[in-house]
Amino acid sequence: MGRMSKTDTVVENVREESTREAAGHASAKADMPQPPPPEAPAAAGGMDHLHIWNRLKRTDPKATKPFTRSGGFRGTQIDPTWRFQMMTETFGPVGKGWGYEQVDWTIAERMVFICARVWYLDPANGEKCWTGPQWGGTEMVRRRNGIEMPDDECFKMSMTDAVGKCLLQLGLAADVYMGQFDDSKYREESEAFYAAKGNPDLQPAAIEAFEAEVKRRLGGCLDLDDLEEVWRAGVGTRLRDIGTVDRAAQHRITGLFAQKKAEILRREEEDGREAA
pLDDT digits (tens, 9 = 90+) for 214-264: 999 999 999 888 888 888 888 888 888 888 788 888 999 999 999 999 999
89 has pLDDT over 60: yes
Q: Hey, CA dihedral for 96, 158, 51, 188, is it positive or negative? A: positive
| Spatial distance between the Cα atoms of 162 and 255, rounded to a whole number of angstroms | 44
Q: Hey, CA dihedral for 211, 213, 214, 218, is it positive or negative? A: positive
Q: Is 231 helix (H, G, I), strand (E, B) or coil?
A: helix
pLDDT above 70 covers what percent of the chain?
Answer: 82
Q: What is the pLDDT of residues 172-215, one digit of tens each?
A: 999 999 999 888 899 888 888 888 777 888 888 889 999 999 99
| Spatial distance between the Cα atoms of 136 and 102, rounded to a whole number of angstroms | 11
Q: What is the arithmetic mean of pLDDT over 123-149? A: 90
Q: Mean of the per-residue pLDDT values for the chain?
A: 82
**Cβ-count burial of 203 within 10 angstroms (0-12 exposed, 13-18 middle, 19+ buried)?**
middle
Q: Does the model's pTM come out above 0.75?
A: no
Which residue segments constitute the domains of the chain, with CATH numbers given?
A: 6-47+194-268 (no CATH), 60-172 (3.30.390.80)
**Cβ-count burial of 67 within 10 angstroms (0-12 exposed, 13-18 middle, 19+ buried)?**
exposed
20 has pLDDT over 50: no
Q: What count of residues does the chain have?
A: 276
State the pLDDT confidence band at 69, using cuts at 50, 70 and 90.
Answer: confident
